[in-house]
Amino acid sequence: MASDRIIMAHGGGGRMMDQLIEDVFLPAFGDPVGHERHDGARLDGSIIFTADAYVVRPLFFPGGSIGEIAVFGTANDLAMCGARPRWLSASFILEEGLPIETLRRVVDDMGRAAREAEVLIVTGDTKVVERGAADGLYVTTSGVGFVEFGARVGPALIGPGDTILISGPVGAHGVAVLSVREGIAFETEIESDAAPLWPTVEALLRAGVEVHCLRDLTRGGLAAAVNEIARARGVEIELTEAAIPVETPVRGACEFLGLDPFYVANEGCFIAIVKQSDAEKALLAMQRFDPRAAIIGITGEEGAARVSMQSAIGGRRALDHLAGDLLPRIC
């Protein structure tokens, strides 16, 4: 490993984190459930189990809060495994001196988000650390759900010529967090897209779409998601740049901030990789939830684990996997 200390990029969802998983976690924990670099683990039968820590800074931002994404994020990881989210745990690490009113706002957001996502928060824990030993509060949620409609999804199921769809526009969450963190006011306030994704997944499955893989576009954004999948399956992925929805204010803010929206984290957006002949059916199902859902690419032949993008002016470029993340502490 290049460095012998943890750097911010180790938490960025990119190559540095992959390396940490391979060098430190997998040798110690093994690969007990046929780890596919998926969002959750399939246990006995149809039970899916997942967990995420949330350290977003600041705690509140346009369109959401750490509480909201701690619920939606973990519920969405279950949905990405084809599972209806059912139960969550919530474990808090609180910094001494945190106003109880701040905690209450976060917890109330979690309660509301749980009702919206139709999950129950059933267990949890609270620890307190000294002033200066945390940044207000961190929350870790884990989730349990059951696979429905006999869904079996994962990179291994992707075939050549599959269609790649996106559920909505990208980039809003990262821009919303960064704008408040940096104190930048854009002409149009950009709100996080934080939202539960199971309803859209359920619609796809209920419509009988042969879904091969699902992935939410969190840390590292669209680029990280497609690169992880390309590598996990050993397949080429070709995206069409002009087809990927990015709202005009988000595009403008990204230009201003020097960000590529395809690398910016989302909290309510996913890609579905489906059998080509089911693509139109999938698009119709997804557009019921967001008319901006779109077909954005296809999978190529096995062998070349890479992502290329057809640009709007006809050229083709690689969409690389970054070492870290453009934006630390975005979720």
Residues 273-302 that bind a copy of itself (CB under 8 A): none
Cβ proximity to a copy of itself: between 101 and 187 the closer is 101
Query: For the chain, first and last CA: distance in Å?
Result: 25
Interface segment toward a copy of itself; rule CB under 8 A; list 15-23, 160-168, 221-229, 280-288: 15-23
Residue 219 burial by Cβ neighbours in a 10 Å radius (0-12, 13-18, 19+): buried
Closest contact distance (angstroms) between CB of 79 and a copy of itself is: 15
Minimum distance of a copy of itself from residue 72's CB (angstroms): 15
Q: Which stretch binds a copy of itself (CB under 8 A): 129-137, 188-196, 228-236, 293-301?
A: 129-137
- Displacement of CA 21 from its chain's centroid (Å): 18
- Residue 28 lies near a copy of itself (rule: CB under 8 A): yes
Site track for a copy of itself across 82-121, x = CB under 8 A: ----xx-xxxxxxxxxxxxx-xx--xx-xx--x-----xx
Q: Write out the two tokens for 151.
A: 């869904």
* Residue 220 binds a copy of itself, judged by CB under 8 A: no
Does 215 bind a copy of itself (CB under 8 A)? Our answer is no
The one-letter code for the residue type at 6 is: I
Token pair recorded at residue 303: 């062998």
- Shortest spacing between CB 324 and a copy of itself, in angstroms: 9
β-pair type (316-318, 307-310): antiparallel
Q: Shortest distance, CB of residue 166 to a copy of itself, whole angstroms?
A: 24
CB of 203 to a copy of itself, least distance (A): 24
Residues in the chain: 331
Query: How distant, in Å, are the alpha carbons of 20, 161, 214 from that of 301?
Result: 29, 8, 19
| Eight-class DSSP state of 190 | P
Our CB check for a copy of itself shows the closer of 219 and 275 to be 219
Orientation angle between helical segments 66-79 and 198-206, nearest 10 degrees = 20
Which tokens hold the place of 267?
């909290």
User: Exactly one of 124, 159, 249, 300 binds a copy of itself (CB under 8 A); which one?
Assistant: 124
**How big is the site for a copy of itself, counted in residues (CB under 8 A)?**
77
- Work out the number of other CB atoms within 10 angstroms of the CB of residue 36: 18
Task: By CB under 8 A, tell whether 176 contacts a copy of itself.
Answer: no
Question: What is d(CA 176, CA 193) in angstroms, rounded to the nearest whole number?
Answer: 9
Q: Is 156 in the site for a copy of itself (CB under 8 A)?
A: no
Residue 182 binding a copy of itself, by CB under 8 A = no
Distance CA 319, CA 309 (A): 6
Contact positions with a copy of itself (CB under 8 A) in 31-60 = 32-33, 40-41, 43-44, 47, 49-55
Check binding of 61 to a copy of itself (CB under 8 A).
no
Calpha distance 272→124 (Å, rounded): 32
